[in-house]
Amino acid sequence: MTTITKAIITAGGYATRFLPITKAVPKEMLPLGDKPVIHYILEELQAAGIKDVLLLIGRGRECLMNYLDKNYEVDDYLARRVAETPDAVSVEKNTNFFSDMNLYFRRVALPQGVADCVKHASSFVGNEPFVLAYCDDVFFDGNPTAEMLSAYQKTQQPAIITATVPWENAHCYGVITKDGQIIEKPAQPTSNLVAVGRYLLPSGFCQTLGTDIVAALNQIPTKNIITTKAKRFDAGNKFGLFEAFKYVITQEKSNV
Q: Judge residue 147's burial from the number of C-beta atoms within 10 Å of its C-beta, 0-12 exposed, 13-18 middle, 19 or more buried.
A: buried
Domain that holds residue 141: 6-254
The whole-number pLDDT of residue 93 equals 60
Q: Are 142 and 228 in contact (CB under 8 A)?
A: yes
Supply the mean pLDDT for the chain: 91
pLDDT at 85 > cutoff 80:
no
How many domains are there within the chain?
A: 1
Give the CATH number for residue 20: 3.90.550.10
Position with higher pLDDT, 133 vs 76? 133
pLDDT at 1 > cutoff 70:
no
Residue 52 lies in a domain: yes
How would residue 186 be classed by pLDDT, with cut points 50, 70 and 90? very high
The whole-number pLDDT of residue 238 equals 94
The whole-number pLDDT of residue 171 equals 96
Residue 101 lies in a domain: yes
The whole-number pLDDT of residue 139 equals 98
Q: Average of pLDDT values for 47-54? A: 98
How would residue 91 be classed by pLDDT, with cut points 50, 70 and 90? low
pLDDT at 80 > cutoff 70:
yes
Question: CB atoms < 10 A from the CB of 90, how many?
Answer: 6
The whole-number pLDDT of residue 72 equals 85
pLDDT in tens, 56-66: 998 888 899 99
Residue 167 lies in a domain: yes
- Read off the amino acid at residue 134: Y
Alpha-carbon Rg for the chain, nearest whole angstrom, is 19
β-strand partners of 7: 53, 131
Residue 1 lies in a domain: no
Question: How are beta strands 102-107 and 224-227 bridged, if at all?
Answer: unpaired
How would residue 173 be classed by pLDDT, with cut points 50, 70 and 90? very high
The kind and range of the H/E element at 31 are strand 31-32
